[in-house]
Structure 1
Amino acid sequence: MAFNFFKKKDKDTSKKQDRYKELTVKEVIKATKDAIVIEFEKPDWEFTYTAGQFITLITDIEGESVRRAYSLCTSPLVDEYPAVSVKRVENGKMSNFLNDNTKAGDTFKVLEPMGKFTTEVDAEKKRHLIMFAGGSGITPMMGISKSILHAENDSIISLIYANRNLESVIFKKELDDLQDKFEGRMHIIHVLDDAPLNWQGESGLLNEEMLKKIFDRIPSWGHENTQYLMCGPEGMMKNVEQMLESLSIPKDNVYKESFVQGTIDKAQKETTEGSGQDYEVTVLFDDEEHVFTVPADKSILETALDKDIDLPFSCQSGLCTACRGKLLSGTMHLDEDEGLSDSEREEGYVLTCVGHPTSPGVKIQIG
């Protein structure tokens, strides 16, 4: 029988309340036909973030509480107000709602900034950041670019940015301004799938052949002085990864941010879910102990939410790591572990949103 077990004390809701903050919309900027930038007022709580991180917006849509993670496009070193960009996704409940309805003065419940697609800024560094972005994947790159250009006078950035057409280029003016202001340090190569007749840049799909052609034009600072960042559609990032691998680029120098869930091994998932085993799981969170039985066809997070256990989460697809915990005992299968680093996997970290217990005695510490 599934049940919740709490320590013998009055339940303290202060920590639960502390997990959720509130932001007020200062301005909504129409970035493209299908994308907006939402700029927020300075909150009355300490809003601390690093360029490249994301925040989770939570709002009610048609009677349902919906939450989605959106990357910050701003830099805490440059921008007075934090902002995110939101591009419409076909059938996307939150993205379409935000594009159609958001206005100045609106308030959103949020989770504090998180995410590991960041780089430590150091005025003494001299490095080359080569960025590959596609569509809305430019969002975290904007904040990172501004931080690096502002604080590291000897560092340079090369940005390869792919879009469907010229009208879909998010931050076109802002990117042009950065390239003009930091001439010689910021170089942008636009790639358009559907380019106008007078287009002087690259056109076509950003496949491996085009990537190698572009890569030959980018100055080489040596592997030890270069970092490679990518964010965009899964197909584009696979092409970038294959190209970098063919050039023997060290994996430790490559950083990736995914906005969509990767491909789950169907056979492996069916093996896990087809066992028919329900296992009892213990989750330790906010000084509380929750014990419940997870059905074979559900994740640990999904089961917890069904039982009104308020565990942290955002993307629910194994990418953002908001639901990350440390496996203290037992064994688990993850449908997707793209969000975890190699060191996190070795240390026993797991993701409850895509995690299934595969043995008795599973115990997870969150936070």
Structure 2
Amino acid sequence: MSNSPYLTLNVVELTRETADAITIHLERADRQPVPSQPGQFLTLIVPCGSGKRPERRSYSLSSTPADAPRLSVTVKRVPGGLVSNHLLDTVRVGQTIEAMAPLGNFTTDTNPQAARSLVLIGAGSGITPLMSILKTVLQQEPGSQVLLVYGNRNEETTIFREQLQRLEQQYAGRFQVEHVFSQPKQAAKPSGGMFSRLFGGGTPAPQPAAEHQHTGRLNRTMLLRVLEQRHRAPAAQAEYFMCGPEGMMAEAKAALELLGVPADRIRRESFVASADSAEAAAAQPDGHGTVLADDKDEISARKVTIQYEGTEYVVEVQPNQTMLEAALDQDIDLPYSCQAGLCTACRGKCLTGKVHLDEREGLSDRELQQGYVLMCVGHPLTDDVVIEID
């Protein structure tokens, strides 16, 4: 397969999940598999709107690597959402869609000998990467157990509702969904010990689905209630994955802190830039450039050298531009996706010079120390910035 980050995919099937959500199933024309990991996302490049360039949006894969050559993304209608609404209104089986190869670090490695406990916390369309992770773990780790705490308005708005029910039956005793409905159509009852069954409290027979429904919002109080049923704490080594609105994830994080869950056991996925993102760290003096967020450094018009696919480009970046915006204005076709400093599609290594990052959530401390920057939130601070993009 080509090393190009771009793919041309055919729409081979559409699945209606709810009244305002569909799953788009995609394959390469030659049906060759596209490498992916559970929990990663696919960036679709869609010509819509009035801009001179196609719009790009990232959608988490709801498929698993075992579904190859098929890649599936689930798209929900969003008020004012340009690309999502365009897709729901126009996508048809047989059409082609341009995309970038799957990316993302919200993943988990699997081991057939593993016997671990996973707790997945999601709301609304945040279920999509969690779906990919839970299906993969259930399929590939027969000794592992998975709990999904899933918040929605009601039963009818629950994406993958029937598929989740089938998985609960298929993996009874290993997989349980706790539904949290803020406006349920049917009366919900408090759960009765699912967590103790999955995480060390015996093995009673599976209970009716109604026993695993809760009325209210998926907030800190609700999550604590679910996780502390029968006064049993979560397994000490449980791993936690969360995806959904920022408010929900903040509440979930607070609940897990109260339960004493170590920060390194918690993973989260977000495509919304955080207002309190940490400042970019300084890189070590190993020949790489320096990533800084220092008030003493002035962002002004500077030239940047970009090395990409064997070609070197020199771009002038204005103070009100990011390096990516300046490159795109010169019709340099660099890889990018979220444009918020989260997805790492536009990651490059700063070989010389200094760069300021508006956001750094998408990069680990190690990547920053190695000199990596994100073009979509990067501004040159010196005249000798050279960026190498893989």
- The normalised TM-score by structure 2 is 0.83
Higher relative contact order (CA 8 A, sep 6+): 1
Q: Which residue of 2 aligns with 1:217?
A: 229
Deviation at 1:78, TM superposition (A): 4.9
Q: Which residue of 2 aligns with 1:52?
A: 39
| Within-5 A mapping of 1:103-122 | 103-122=92-111
Deviation at 1:132, TM superposition (A): 0.6
Deviation at 1:53, TM superposition (A): 1.2
SS at match of 1:194: coil
Question: Which piece of structure 1 moves more, 211-220 or 191-200?
Answer: 211-220
Between the aligned partners of 2:155 and 2:371, the Cα distance in structure 1 is 45
Q: Which residue of 2 aligns with 1:144?
A: 133
Q: Which residue of 1 aligns with 2:21?
A: 35
Between the aligned partners of 1:54 and 1:241, the Cα distance in structure 2 is 23
In the alignment, is residue 77 of structure 1 matched against residue 66 of structure 2? yes
Between the aligned partners of 2:350 and 2:142, the Cα distance in structure 1 is 43
Structure 1 residues 348 and 305, CA gap change in structure 2 (3 angstroms): same
Q: Which residue of 2 aligns with 1:9?
A: none
Between the aligned partners of 1:31 and 1:176, the Cα distance in structure 2 is 14
Between the aligned partners of 1:71 and 1:19, the Cα distance in structure 2 is 17
Q: Which residue of 2 aligns with 1:364?
A: 387
Deviation at 1:342, TM superposition (A): 2.7
Between the aligned partners of 1:35 and 1:202, the Cα distance in structure 2 is 23
* Cα deviation digits, residues 17-61 of structure 1 (max 9, x gap): x33221111111111111110012354244121111111111211
Q: Which residue of 2 aligns with 1:230?
A: 242
Between the aligned partners of 1:24 and 1:165, the Cα distance in structure 2 is 33
Question: Which piece of structure 1 moves more, 287-296 or 165-174?
Answer: 287-296
| Within-5 A mapping of 1:338-349 | 338-349=361-372
Between the aligned partners of 1:248 and 1:313, the Cα distance in structure 2 is 38
Question: Which piece of structure 1 moves more, 211-220 or 144-153?
Answer: 211-220
Deviation at 1:195, TM superposition (A): 1.9
1:272, 1:296 within 8 Å by CA — same for their partners in 2? no
2:33, 2:70 within 8 Å by CA — same for their partners in 1? no
Deviation at 1:247, TM superposition (A): 2.9
Q: Which residue of 2 aligns with 1:11?
A: none
* Cα deviation digits, residues 160-208 of structure 1 (max 9, x gap): 1111222211000001111111011101111111123523321222221
2:241, 2:267 within 8 Å by CA — same for their partners in 1? yes
Q: Which residue of 2 aligns with 1:279?
A: 302
SS at match of 1:97: helix
- The normalised TM-score by structure 1 is 0.88
Deviation at 1:264, TM superposition (A): 6.1
Between the aligned partners of 1:247 and 1:264, the Cα distance in structure 2 is 24
| Within-5 A mapping of 1:1-367 | 18-44=4-30, 45-62=32-49, 64=51, 65-78=54-67, 81-200=70-189, 201-217=213-229, 222-223=235-236, 225-263=237-275, 275=298, 277-367=300-390
Q: Give ranges in structure 2 of 5+ residues lacking alignment.
A: 190-212, 281-292
Q: Which residue of 1 aligns with 2:199?
A: none
Question: Which piece of structure 1 moves more, 86-95 or 241-250?
Answer: 241-250
Between the aligned partners of 1:296 and 1:272, the Cα distance in structure 2 is 14
1:78, 1:147 within 8 Å by CA — same for their partners in 2? no
Between the aligned partners of 2:301 and 2:276, the Cα distance in structure 1 is 21
Cα RMSD of the aligned pairs, angstroms, is 2.5
Identity of aligned residues (%): 41
Question: Which piece of structure 1 moves more, 336-345 or 347-356?
Answer: 336-345
1:52, 1:118 within 8 Å by CA — same for their partners in 2? yes
Between the aligned partners of 2:5 and 2:330, the Cα distance in structure 1 is 19
Q: Give ranges in structure 1 of 5+ residues lacking alignment.
A: 1-14
Structure 1 residues 273 and 111, CA gap change in structure 2 (3 angstroms): farther
* Cα deviation digits, residues 114-156 of structure 1 (max 9, x gap): 1111111110111011101111110011111111111101100
